[in-house]
Amino acid sequence: MRWFVQRLRVPHALRDYPLAGLALRLGLTWWAEVAEIYVNGELVRSGDLFDSAGRILLTTAANPGEAFSLALRLVSPGHDGGALMRSQAIWEHQGDSLDPGLLADELTVLQQYLAAFAPEKLTELAGAIASIPWQWVGDRDRFDRGLRSLREDLRPLGGLLKERGFHLLGHAHLDMAWLWPVAETWEVAQRTFASVLTLQKSFPELIFGHSTPALYAWIEVHRPDLFAQIQAAVEAGRWELLGGMWVEPEVNLPAGESLVRQFLYGQRYFQEKFGRMAEVAWLPDSFGFTWQLPQICRESGIKYFVTGKLHWNDSKAFPHGFFAWEGPDGTQLLTLMSPPNVAGVMDTSPLPMANYGVAWEQQTGLTEAFWLPGVGDHGGGPTQDMLEVQRRFQGSPLFPRLEFSTAIAYLNRLKASIDPGQLPVWKDELYLELHRGCYTTHGDQKRANRYCEGLLYQAELWSAIASMNFPNGFSYPQQDLEMAWKQLLFNQFHDILPGTSISEVFVDANQAWCDVQQAGETILQGALEAIAADIDRSSRPQPEARPLIVFNALNWSRQEIVTCSLPTEGYWRVYDIQGQEVLSQQLDNNQLLFSAQIPGIGYGLYWLCPGELKPTQRQPPVDFCLENHYLRVEIESSTGELSRIFDKVNNWEVLRGPGNQLQAFQDQGQYWDAWNIDPNYQEHPLPAAQLTSLEWLDWGPLQWRIRATRQLGSSQFIQDYCLQVKFTDSNH
């Protein structure tokens, strides 16, 4: 934590320009977890890592000699030292009056555009600037008249800028969880949405857009008054519903079914509560985008896709700003790269806007640019100062046109202005060249997600079948399934599933996974029991036989090895419904393996029967080798690594060297340590793992399994090499 203290006294003039009566603002930019600005001992502004800049009004009419005591308290972020990045006194005329600072910004913007698009006119601009009446700078009225005259002389050149424009949409990116738990997100959302609605009373031109139906659903339940105001703003066209997905998810890790469900529940909610669906998919901060999104988006009522994340690439700049993203099936989705925003704040400062406008036009040839003013990541949205600055430059003859717009209106306008044949086409995933470590960080989240995805698929499938074909009092659990799906989809948020949040977030996430698992398993068990109750069991081969019902949730017939727990010790056999014994293998852990062939989306009935005589226990093989119809796998007895994988079908040696080597490297010092992998990690290997044991656990006729135990530092790694028989047409 650091205090920055200064006493600021108003001078009579700045470079001879009189300051009396001008408004004085303090422009600050910080990088801190907590920022507090005090003026004359009073707290006038606070901020954080995301609300990281401000223009604090010290006085509307400065008096020479007047003093201000300024104090800035900054608390460093946990991951670096923090900084005060900018501190600037800003002198302005009140209202729309022209002052030197405003004209300086206008001239800078004009020079940028002329240099890029009309360089032959730069000489004219230079001549005009040379005529600034510096000899009158001490006479403010006379000097200001000279500036106004200069501005009028440059108005024809400003016509070039008025051929161009910015479409503004107020925005407040709000992470559902990240450096704060979900409970805090609800509070931030309320403040952000209330702030926007209040600002719209003073700035009726403000249009705001936000995604995430899950957030609206919470507001609906807990703040119905605020929700009603949002509904009215949507109806009035001053609030745009974006995204259409339940949250802004990670889209590389989830299954395709989950991505479809994100849109199903999101768009359904928007339609039910607002009478419309989103037309613009909105994922500004997810870490790369699967190639299947164009098809899924278009089938979900989406016309356009917007992200700005590829501006974060660490190697190659993404080449397109507006393009057709074509999926593997040929579906095209018009896609926009939104303006870069790496700090969480996008204000209406004229110079950054002009820099982007020029770069955008040079990249795309398009004269209409998009801009998203607002404080984000931790919510916030547009500020009053942003809107006041916007109004000031909206009236400038030397700045591009400014108008608030919806994203869909802007994108429709772009589409209408472009020959489709001239639009670049991208036929691949949208790969982010950064944050590659998020696919392994917090592996427990990935494991829970995949298990729950499969569980809910099966729970829904068998519940539907049970309710249609095996009623027996079974009622389709639609509400329970929807609630479980929405919990799963929420946990797929792009800072939860990738594992890039603080530890408190995963306490909540893990509880949600447990809730989903419990709900899914309860629903699945009920559905399977309902189906099983109607299955004919008259084929019992022995009085002591116990039924085993095997379900296949996939669409094709499968012959697989099934594992079941044995009711008691002893020797057991398995029979099919024709009374024929099927191949089985009894394990030492009171489990039994047997071969089952089940039709697609179907079941098979088998019988577990006590055997009369336990077969003689065979000795384990001497060599550590696994083999079936397709593969021969050899394991090096001194290391526990794979020494050979031979493809018997294609007569091909798969490995060129040792396989399944357990390696460890030092990986530290990365700024985004939960997201990234140190690019030089291979230069810092840790000592090799040591094999402590290698032993046979199972050996035929259905399964062969070898366990390797290795020590790596203070950690023990236990791996099982397992190979099962694979059935061919000849051994069915």
Q: How many CB atoms lie under 10 A from the CB of residue 136?
A: 16
Looking at the chain, the whole-number percentage of residues with pLDDT higher than 90 is 89
Q: Considering only residues 47 and 400, tell me which one the structure prediction assigns the higher pLDDT.
A: 400
> What backbone torsions phi and psi does residue 435 show, to the nearest 5 degrees?
60, 40
- Give residue-wise pLDDT tens across range 9-59: 999 999 999 999 999 999 999 989 999 999 999 999 999 888 888 999 999
Tell which residue, 713, 714, 718, has the closest CA to residue 694. Answer: 718
In the chain the first and final C-alpha atoms are separated, in Å, by 72
Has residue 719 got a pLDDT over 50? Answer: yes
d(CA 104, CA 112) in angstroms, rounded, equals 12
Question: Phi-psi region for residue 640, left (φ > 0), alpha (ψ -120 to 50) or beta?
Answer: left
From 620, 619, 657, 654, select the one nearest 636 (Cα to Cα). 657
pLDDT at 730: 42
Residue 132: how many other CB atoms lie within 10 Å: 16
- What is the H or E stretch that residue 154 is in? helix 140-162
Per-residue pLDDT of 246-281, as tens digits, reads 999 999 999 999 999 999 999 999 999 999 999 999
* pLDDT score at 370: 98
- Return the half-sphere exposure (C-beta side, CA atoms, 13 A cut-off) of residue 433: 8
- CA of 111: how far to CAs of 115, 160, 466, 591, 627, in Å? 6, 11, 72, 79, 74
Distance CA 318, CA 311 (A): 7
The residue length of the chain stands at 732
Q: Residue range 392-406: average pLDDT?
A: 97
* Euclidean distance between CA atoms 126 and 579, whole angstroms: 99
Give the ranges where 255-371 is alpha helix by DSSP (H): 256-274, 293-299, 350-364
341 pLDDT band, cuts 50/70/90, is: confident
Element (H, E) at 525: helix 503-532
Residue 726: its pLDDT value, please?
A: 82
User: Does residue 731 register a pLDDT over 60?
Assistant: no
The pLDDT value recorded for residue 728 is 60
Please say if the pLDDT value at position 732 is more than 50: no
Is the pLDDT at 486 greater than 50, yes or no? yes
Residue (of 391, 390, 396) closest to 148 by Cα position: 396
* CB of 333 closer than 8 Å to CB of 325: yes
In the DSSP assignment, the letter for residue 384 is: H
| Phi, psi dihedrals of residue 606, rounded to the nearest 5° | -125, 165
The Cα 475–Cα 477 span in angstroms is 6
Q: What average pLDDT does the segment 547-566 reach?
A: 96
Cα gap 721→697, rounded to integer Å: 10
CA separation for the pair 254, 63 (Å, rounded):
61
Query: pLDDT band for position 614 (50/70/90)?
Result: low
Indicate the Cα dihedral angle 508, 509, 512, 516, nearest 10°.
-170
Strands 690-699 and 703-712: antiparallel
Instruction: Please say if the pLDDT value at position 472 is more than 80.
Output: no
State both tokens at 558: 């499968």
**Residue that wins the pLDDT comparison between 344 and 402:** 402
**Enzyme catalytic residues:** 285
Q: Are 215 and 251 in contact (CB under 8 A)?
A: no
Least confident residue range of 118-132, 351-365, 465-479: 465-479
Pick the residue with more confidence: 522 or 80? 522
Residue 311 has pLDDT above 90, yes or no: yes
> Alpha carbon of 281 to those of 259, 406, 409: distances in Å?
12, 13, 14
**Type of residue found at 422:** Q
Is the pLDDT score of 344 beyond 70?
no
Alpha helices in 33-95 (DSSP H): none
Contact 346, 173 (CB under 8 A): no
Tokens read off for 183:
């409970």
Contact assessment for residue 216 and residue 230, using Cβ atoms and an 8 Å cutoff:
yes
Q: Is the pLDDT of residue 449 over 60?
A: yes
Residue 471: per-residue pLDDT: 59
Please write the tens of the pLDDT for every residue from 617-676: 778 999 999 999 999 999 999 999 999 999 999 999 999 999 999 999 988 767 778 898
Half-sphere exposure of 670 (CA within 13 A, CB side): 17
pLDDT of residue 343: 64
CA 150 to the chain's CA centroid: 49
Mean per-residue pLDDT over the chain, rounded: 94
Residue 667 pLDDT: 81
Q: Could you give phi then psi for residue 299, rounded to 5 degrees? A: -70, -10
Q: Stretch 498-520: mean pLDDT, rounded?
A: 97
- Report the 10 Å Cβ neighbour count for 475: 11
Residues 6+ apart with CB under 8 A from 17: 100, 137, 138, 140, 143
Beta strands in 181-235 (DSSP E): 208-210
**Which of 336, 501, 508, 309 minimizes the C-alpha distance to 413?**
336
214-229: average pLDDT: 98
Answer yes or no: pTM beyond 0.75: yes
pLDDT of residue 581: 95
Report yes or no: 161 and 116 within 8 Å, Cβ to Cβ.
Answer: no
pLDDT for 282 beyond 60: yes
Of 539, 553, 372, 382, whose CA–CA distance to 457 is shortest?
553
Q: Answer whether residue 225 shows pLDDT above 60.
A: yes
pLDDT tier, 615 (very low <50, low <70, confident <90, very high otherwise): low
Pairing of strands 2-9, 631-635: unpaired
| 126: number of Cβ within 10 Å | 11
More confidently predicted of 727 and 657: 657
Report d(CA 675, CA 603) in Å as an integer: 43
Token pair 């639609």: residue: 478
